[in-house]
Chains A and B, each alone.
Chain A
């Protein structure tokens, strides 16, 4: 993916993040994810029915990359079953950490395929994944 396409995808997801809400969501599983070294701080809300992820939303404040990464993660993960979502998270973390990964279901998340080169952005891109994995592990 070329840089211009990446910028376009990131910009869209940052300026119009998917399923971002302003208020707390009732009836959903909830997890907070924050980056201690900066002020990225989001709440992720997830609804699981019959082991399928029916919905994910998020609220809070985060930088462009964290926001875009959360938006993209949510788009990709809704509809997955919990086990596949766990695999997806591990696969994404592998990509960020420059380890072997399978990108078949990454779609827009491929914008992060070179994030490993930008040390300061690795924590931004992984912000939602570090949160949601806790919910997934607790509900597998």
Chain B
């Protein structure tokens, strides 16, 4: 759908949206418009174009808040999911966790959700527990219960994982966690662009996502947090835009949320571009996008089901991420081969470096779908993957 909005599709078959989504013309125009027509800083500008910049920036926050079912002051603009997750882990959890406290993760998580916790293992002596994934690599409530103890303080996981694309039962996880006083931090990088996410319905404590995976620009992301929890975050960055006044080190007054967590000049163009991207997604309808991706995934699975040397790691997964390998061929070589035909896929470990413990390989070919993909894209990639001899030959030179 809407392929005409993405110029790069005229000469590329783009199947790497889990890495970054393409940007529709309207988003590019919106960003360009900021830089050409009202390229002023926000905060305190007593002139028209600064007022407009401020207004557009605030409007972008309202769009994000409405998209997630949150309040405006619960939406903090960050540089991306990694920034958001680090802000919560280092600015909040680091201050309330103690030696021996337990944090629950899975081995399928992205580096951005594993490494900040590893850091706290080293700094504070917290303990990480991993939920055992079931035979289809899903998180189940029963398996989660197996690792919860009276020392568990946090459950921290992606809503949709970036290699296997499984959707976690976040609402049930939150309900169980909150019964036991456990906080839930959700990486929404792969979910917010693809499925309806209502933070109040899910009852998550914190949720992070990136603009660039939802057709917005790079360098902008969002941290959602329940207001009372966001207020507990100690800003890891201080500077202009986030303080009311200061005289001495003992007399610093910070602004209210969300500005107290947005030190310095923010990524104004990025936020405005993200707002436009969400408008674009809303116009198409997130549920329509999700349905479309699932149909394409089923179409792919059906086409490769009789090709013996194509190994699909995540057949039983309801999202548009497909992780495969061609038997005996290094994923990267397949990626190189497909690139000859202007087919863009990602190969390697996809920053989920613990996942090899679960699926038995540290490299896969990841095909990830979005609204602009169609059956012709699938036909093209399947045709090329269905001739192993050709792959072996053409991957070399």
Contacts and interface: CB of A to CB of B under 8 A. Distances in A.
Interface of A: 3, 6-7, 10-11, 14, 37-40, 62-65, 68, 111, 114, 118, 120-121, 124
Interface string B356-367: 000000110000
Contacts of B395: 64
Nearest to B362: A39
A7 B396 contact: yes
Given A6-B396, A7-B397, A64-B395, A120 B333 contact: no
Given A39-B362, A120-B339, A64 B396 contact: yes
A114 B363 CA distance: 27
Contacts of A40: 332
Query: Chain A CB within 10 Å — which of B335, B339, B395 has the most?
Result: B395
Contact of B330 (A7, A63, A118): A63
19 contacts: A3-B397, A6-B397, A7-B393, A7-B396, A11-B393, A11-B396, A38-B347, A38-B348, A38-B363, A39-B332, A39-B362, A62-B330, A63-B330, A64-B333, A65-B333, A114-B397, A118-B336, A120-B336, A124-B332
A39 B351 CA distance: 11
Given A120-B336, A120-B339, A11 B392 contact: yes
Contact of B336 (A3, A6, A62, A121): A121
Nearest to A1: B397
Contacts of B339: 120
Given A7-B396, A111-B397, 10 more contacts: A11-B393, A11-B396, A38-B332, A38-B348, A38-B363, A39-B362, A64-B333, A64-B395, A118-B336, A124-B332
B20 interface: no
Interface residues of B, number: 16
- Most interface-central of B330, B362, B396, B397 (chain A CB within 10 A): B397
Contacts of B332: 38-40, 63, 124
Interface in B338-397: 339, 347-349, 362-363, 392-393, 395-397
B330 A64 contact: yes
Contacts of B392: 11
Contacts of A114: 397
Given A64-B330, A120-B336, A39 B396 contact: no
Contacts of B348: 37-39
Interface SS of A by simple majority: helix
Contacts of A120: 335-336, 339
A95 B255 CA distance: 58
Nearest to A6: B397
Contacts of B396: 6-7, 10-11, 14, 64-65, 68
Task: Enumerate the 5 nearest inter-chain pairs by beta-carbon distance, A residue then B residue, closest first.
Answer: A10-B396, A63-B332, A63-B330, A64-B333, A6-B397
A113 to B, nearest CB: 11
A118 B332 CA distance: 14
Contacts of A11: 392-393, 396
Contacts of A64: 330, 333, 395-396
Nearest to B329: A64
Interface string B27-61: 00000000000000000000000000000000000
Nearest to A112: B397
Interface string B210-248: 000000000000000000000000000000000000000
Contacts of B335: 120
Most buried by A among B336, B349, B392, B396: B396
A4 to B, nearest CB: 9
Residue from A11, A63, A114, A118 with most neighbouring chain B CB atoms (10 Å):
A63
A136 B37 CA distance: 57
A108 B341 CA distance: 27
